[in-house]
Amino acid sequence: MSKADAVKVASALNAGETELFSPTEQSCAVVASPEFEYFPSKSKYLVHPSPELNALFAHKPYQGAAPERARFLFIGLDANYDAEIETKPIFSKVREYHDDGVAFWRKHGVHHPFLLPEYSGDGRRYHQSFSRIGFGPEHADLVSFIELLHVPTVGRNILAANNLDATHLNMLNAAILGGNPTHIFIPRSVAGLMRATGVFPWLAKVPQEQAGSLDLLFRTGTKTVYSHLHFSAYGKFTQRKAQEATAIRALLPRFS
């Protein structure tokens, strides 16, 4: 998305056009495969109204290290932000983070601006959970976060396969199979949507084996794809999340 497109999106949202895209209006629609059907008529997502945030995502549709260069790749659904994030004091740090997530982590000691003291909004739980795994600034250039949706969003969203951009999905597939990542982590709901696109035919429907508390969906050569709980899960999932964090921590390289 260009900055001009981002301005158009923001104008549409400000005018009250909340259901911004219909399934037929997607620029690069991906048809759901029959074995995992999604219902486009029920899908709904809102592109974030901030032109600057959209421009940042257009330049880098990922966070942290580039996905094809990272060793640890974490895949999500969409990057969700407060509707008024651009007007908040934290936005300068958000801008800095999206410009260079690796440098941000090394400078501030945390992997995401939502963990800084001046932020207290939504999204903090996800990043607090991730931080408990044990990644540190020394791992900054080894970690990448990427979402299936290539634009930032606001509010609660329901995504279907035809909401997704084919170019972005193909880039992700190439990063997984042909890039540097050796450990790829996909929450269960994310894996379901990935299968629905038809772009990831190698992604198993059921675990092929287990590595401690982590289910394995794919393994070839040096690459392993893991299924895990979403980092925002809580309540009855707390114990399982802690076990999965321990399993991921065991994969971290040791630096002297």
**Angstrom distance (rounded) from CA 34 to CA 145:** 28
Assigned domain for 256 exists: no
Q: Which amino acid is at 221?
A: G
Name the residue range of residue 71's domain: 3-249
Count of Cβ atoms closer than 10 Å to residue 36 Cβ: 16
Residue 166 located in a structural domain: yes
pLDDT in tens, 2-46: 445 544 544 443 333 333 332 222 322 233 333 333 334 467 889
Looking at residues 73-84, what average pLDDT do you find?
94
Do the domain assignments include residue 255?
A: no
* Terminal-residue alpha carbon distance, the chain: 42
Q: What percent of the chain has pLDDT over 90?
A: 62
Q: What six digits make up the tokens of 24?
A: 């037929």
Question: Mean pLDDT throughout 71-91?
Answer: 94
pLDDT at 48: 95
Question: CA–CA separation, 226 vs 248, rounded Å?
Answer: 10
Q: Which two tokens stand for residue 45?
A: 């997502």
* Residue 62 binned pLDDT confidence (cut-offs 50, 70, 90): very high
pLDDT at 179: 97
The reply to whether 231 falls in a domain is yes
Write down the pTM of the prediction.
Answer: 0.82
Lowest mean pLDDT among 22-31, 79-88, 120-129, 161-170: 22-31
| Amino acid present at 210 | Q
Largest CA distance in the chain: 55
Percent of the chain with pLDDT over 70: 80
The pLDDT value given to residue 186? 96
Reduced to 3 states (helix: H, G, I; strand: E, B; else coil), residue 179 is coil
126 — pLDDT class (breaks 50, 70, 90): confident
Distance CA 18, CA 231 (A): 28
Q: What is the mean pLDDT of the chain?
A: 83
The answer to whether position 254 is within a domain reads no
Give domain status of residue 104, yes or no: yes
Q: Which residue from 50, 41, 42, 40 is spatially nearest to 9, judged by alpha carbons?
A: 50
How many structural domains does the chain have?
1
pLDDT, residue 52, reads: 95
Cα distance between residue 68 and residue 80, in whole Å: 23
| Beta strands at 223-228 and 214-220: parallel, antiparallel or unpaired | antiparallel
Better-predicted residue by pLDDT, 130 or 241: 130
Least confident of 7-21, 111-125, 166-180: 7-21
Between 221 and 141, residue with greater pLDDT: 141
Q: How confident is the model at residue 96 (pLDDT cuts 50, 70, 90)?
A: very high
Under 8 Å between Cβ of 71 and 181: yes
Cα–Cα distance for residue pair 72/178, rounded to 1 Å: 14
Cβ neighbors of 149 (< 8 A, separation 6 or more) are 45, 77, 78, 79, 159, 163, 164, 165
Q: Which pLDDT tens digit goes with each residue over 218-229?
A: 999 899 999 987
